[in-house]
C-alpha cells in the first residue's frame, strides 16, 4: 500500500500543530494532522490539576482566535484544553487521532510516515511533537540505590498523596516554583535549585517574557545583539500560589545535594537527610523519535535548522520546541510567529508562488 497521499503531514496536534495548520489552511495547502492523543489538548491534557498559565489569556492566543477571557487572570489547565479543543473545531482542522507516528522515512520523492494506523506519504512533514513525552531527569551519583519515590512533574497531578511525606522539589523554573508552593502548604518540602531562582517582579506577569522574546527576534532581524534584560522564559512568574508560598517563608531554595543514599541524600557539607519522594521539575527534551532514523539529531538533541526548516532534509520542518525553533516558540503566543513563517515557506515551495 503506498499510503494515503497528502501535501503536508503535521505530526502532533498540540498548540504548535494547530497554529501551523491554521496558516497552512489559509495558504490553501492540503494537509493532515496526525496526533497520538485520543482527544485534543496536546500535553495540556497531562498538566497537574492546579496548573495555570503564567500569562493572561490575551497573551496566550493562537493565530486567528483570541483565547476567551475567563474570570481568572491566569487561565487554568482546563481552560487551555477547552480553548485548544474549540480551536480545532472552529477551523475544522483535519486531525487523525489517536495515531502513533513510528517513523518518518525517505520514499522516492516523498516522505513516508509510518504509523500504527498505516502509512501516509507527504511532500513535506512538520514535526510538532512537543517535549512532554521526553521528561528530563538529571543523574546524581547513587541514584540507583535510593529506595524512595522519584516522580517527574510531567506525571504530577496534585499534592494530596504527599501529605506527611519528606519531599525534595528539584528545579528552579516555573514548574519547580509552582510545585514547591503547592507541596510546602501540605508537607515538608525542600526546594533544590542549581542557582538562586530568578523571580519576576510581582506586578509583572508572563507577558513580559514574550516581550523579551519579541525584542530578541527584532534584534536578530536587525542584526544586532538583543538589548533586552538578561533572563528569558525561565524566569518565575509570581502567580498567586507562588506569592503565598513566599509570604509563608516557603520559597527559599538550597543548592543541589552531592549524592543519593538508600534512604535520602548526602549534601555537599557531608550531612544527610532522609526523604520519601523527589519531584523532578527538571524540564523536557524534544520528542523527535519519529525522525531518529534519519540521522538528523545533533548531540545536543536539537536539529540544525534554517529558521524552522531542516538544513539536512528540506522536506522537514520543526515547530514549537523552544529557542532552537524560534524565541518563545514553545509557548501559546510565541508559536504563532514560527507557525506563520513555516506555513508561508512551505506554501511558496509547494506552489512555487509567494504567499
Ligand atoms: P504538545 O502540547 O506536547 O503537543 C504535542 C502533540 O504531539 C501531543 O498531542 C502528542 O501526543 C503528539 N505526539 C508526540 N509524539 C508523537 C508521535 N510520535 N506520534 C503522534 N503524535 C505524537 N506555555 C505558555 O504559553 N504559557 C504557559 O503558562 C505555559 N506553562 C507551561 C507549564 C508547564 C508545566 C509546561 C510543561 C509547559 C508550559 N508551557 C506554557 C509551554 C507550552 O505551552 C507547552 O509545553 C505546550 O504543551 C507545547 O505545545 P506543543 O504543541 O509544542 O506540544
- pLDDT of 68-104, one tens digit each? 987 777 899 999 999 999 999 999 999 999 999 999 9
DSSP letters for 261-325? -SSEEE-TTS-EEE-SEEEE---B----GGGGGGT-B-TTS-B-EETTEESS-TTEEE-SSSGGG
Ligand 1 mean position, distance from CA 353 (Å): 32
302 ligand 1 Cβ < 6 A = no
- The residues, ordered by sequence, that sit 6+ positions from 90 with a Cβ below 8 Å of its Cβ are 65
> CA 319 → CA 29, 36, 126, 343, distances in Å?
17, 17, 7, 10
Whether residue 150 has pLDDT greater than 80? yes
Rounded to 10°, the helix 15-26/335-351 angle is 40
Residue 208: the pLDDT is 74
Same fold, 4-134+284-352 and 143-199+236-280: yes
Using a 10 angstrom Cβ sphere, with 0-12 exposed, 13-18 middle and 19 or more buried, the burial of residue 119 is middle
What mean pLDDT comes out for the span 150-179?
96
Rounded to 10°, the helix 174-183/240-248 angle is 60
Which pLDDT band holds residue 153 (cuts at 50, 70, 90)? very high
Structure confidence by residue, pLDDT tens digits, 177-213: 999 999 999 999 999 999 999 998 888 777 777 777 7
Whether residue 151 has pLDDT greater than 80? yes
Residue 229: the pLDDT is 57
Lowest mean pLDDT among 123-132, 234-243, 268-277, 280-289: 234-243
296 close to 318: Cβ distance less than 8 angstroms? no
Ligand 1 mean position, distance from CA 235 (Å): 19
Whether residue 144 has pLDDT greater than 80? yes
Domain ranges in the chain are 4-134+284-352, 143-199+236-280
First to last CA, the chain: 34
DSSP letters for 200-253? PPTT--THHHHHHHHHHHHHHHTTS---SPS--TTSBP--HHHHHHHHHT---E
101 ligand 1 Cβ < 6 A = yes
Q: The domain 143-199+236-280: what is its CATH number? A: 3.50.50.60
The count of other CB atoms within 10 Å of the CB of residue 234 is: 13
331 ligand 1 Cβ < 6 A = yes
Residue 306: the pLDDT is 96
Structure confidence by residue, pLDDT tens digits, 263-293: 999 999 999 999 999 999 999 999 999 999 9
Whether residue 7 has pLDDT greater than 60? yes
Using a 10 angstrom Cβ sphere, with 0-12 exposed, 13-18 middle and 19 or more buried, the burial of residue 338 is buried
Structure confidence by residue, pLDDT tens digits, 15-45: 999 999 999 999 999 999 999 999 999 999 9
> CA 87 → CA 19, 138, 329, 338, distances in Å?
9, 36, 18, 18
- Beta bridge partners, 34, equal 11, 96
What 3-state DSSP class applies to 130? Answer: coil
Stated pTM of the model: 0.93
Which pLDDT band holds residue 353 (cuts at 50, 70, 90)? low
Average pLDDT for the chain: 92
100 ligand 1 Cβ < 6 A = yes
28 close to 347: Cβ distance less than 8 angstroms? yes
Residue 218: the pLDDT is 73
CA–CA separation, 38 and 165 (whole Å):
34
What mean pLDDT comes out for the span 309-328?
95
Mutation choice for ligand 1 from 43, 241, 331, 342, CB with most ligand atoms inside 8 A: 43
Residue 295: the pLDDT is 92
Lowest mean pLDDT among 161-170, 231-240, 324-333, 335-344: 231-240
Dihedral pair phi/psi, residue 280, rounded to 5°: -90, 115
CA–CA separation, 307 and 334 (whole Å):
14
Residue 228: the pLDDT is 54
Which pLDDT band holds residue 215 (cuts at 50, 70, 90)? confident
Whether residue 11 has pLDDT greater than 90? yes
253 ligand 1 Cβ < 6 A = no
H/E element, 345: helix 335-351
Ligand 1 mean position, distance from CA 331 (Å): 9
Residue 32: the pLDDT is 98
Cis bond leading into 98, ω under 30°?
yes
Grid cell listed for 166? 519528606
**Fold of the domain spanning 4-134+284-352:** FAD/NAD(P)-binding domain (3.50.50)
Mutation choice for ligand 1 from 54, 103, 132, 239, CB with most ligand atoms inside 8 A: 132
Whether residue 1 has pLDDT greater than 50? no
Nearest to 178 by CA among 244, 133, 131, 130: 244
What 3-state DSSP class applies to 77? Answer: helix
209 ligand 1 Cβ < 6 A = no
Q: Of all residues in the chain, what percent carry a pLDDT higher than 70? A: 95
Amino acid at each position: 500500500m503506498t499510503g494515503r497521499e497528502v501535501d503536508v503531514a503535521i505530526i502532533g496536534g498540540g498548540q504548535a500543530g494547530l497554529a501551523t495548520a491554521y496558516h497552512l489552511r489559509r495558504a490553501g495547502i492540503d494537509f493532515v494532522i496526525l496526533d497520538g492523543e485520543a482527544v485534543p489538548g496536546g500535553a495540556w491534557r497531562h498538566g497537574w490539576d492546579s496548573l495555570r498559565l503564567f500569562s493572561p489569556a490575551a497573551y496566550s492566543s493562537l493565530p486567528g482566535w483570541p483565547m476567551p477571557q475567563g474570570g481568572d487572570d491566569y487561565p487554568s489547565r482546563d481552560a487551555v484544553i477547552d480553548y485548544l479543543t474549540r480551536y480545532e473545531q472552529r477551523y475544522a482542522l483535519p486531525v487523525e487521532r489517536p495515531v502513533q507516528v513510528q517513523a518518518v522515512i525517505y520514499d522516492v520523492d516523498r516522505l513516508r510516515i509510518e504509523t500504527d494506523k498505516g502509512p501516509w506519504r507527504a511532500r513535506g512533514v512538520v514535526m510538532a511533537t512537543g517535549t512532554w513525552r521526553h521528561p528530563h531527569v538529571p543523574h546524581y551519583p547513587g541514584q540507583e540505590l535510593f529506595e524512595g519515590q522519584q516522580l517527574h512533574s510531567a506525571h504530577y497531578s496534585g499534592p494530596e498523596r504527599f501529605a506527611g511525606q519528606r519531599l525534595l522539589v528539584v528545579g528552579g523554573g516555573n514548574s519547580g516554583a509552582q510545585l514547591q508552593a503547592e507541596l510546602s502548604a501540605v508537607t515538608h518540602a525542600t526546594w533544590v535549585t542549581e542557582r538562586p531562582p530568578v523571580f519576576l517582579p510581582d506586578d509583572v506577569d508572563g507577558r513580559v517574557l514574550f516581550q523579551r522574546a519579541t525584542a530578541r527576534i527584532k534584534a536578530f532581524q536587525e542584526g544586532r545583539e538583543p538589548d533586552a534584560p538578561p533572563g528569558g522564559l525561565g524566569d518565575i512568574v509570581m502567580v498567586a500560589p507562588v506569592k503565598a508560598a513566599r509570604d509563608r517563608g516557603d520559597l527559599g531554595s538550597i543548592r543541589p545535594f552531592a549524592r543519593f543514599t538508600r534512604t535520602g541524600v548526602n549534601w555537599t557539607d557531608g550531612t544527610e537527610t532522609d526523604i520519601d519522594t523527589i519531584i523532578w521539575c527538571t524540564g523536557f527534551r524534544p520528542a523527535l523519535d519519529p525522525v531518529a532514523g534519519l540521522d538528523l539529531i545533533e548531540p545536543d538533541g536539537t536539529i540544525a535548522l534554517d529558521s524552522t526548516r531542516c538544513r539536512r532534509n528540506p522536506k522537514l520542518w520543526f515547530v514549537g520546541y523552544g529557542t532552537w525553533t524560534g524565541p518563545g516558540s514553545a509557548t501559546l503566543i510565541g508559536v504563532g510567529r514560527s507557525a506563520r513563517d513555516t506555513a508561508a515557506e512551505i506554501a511558496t515551495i509547494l506552489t512555487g508562488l509567494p504567499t
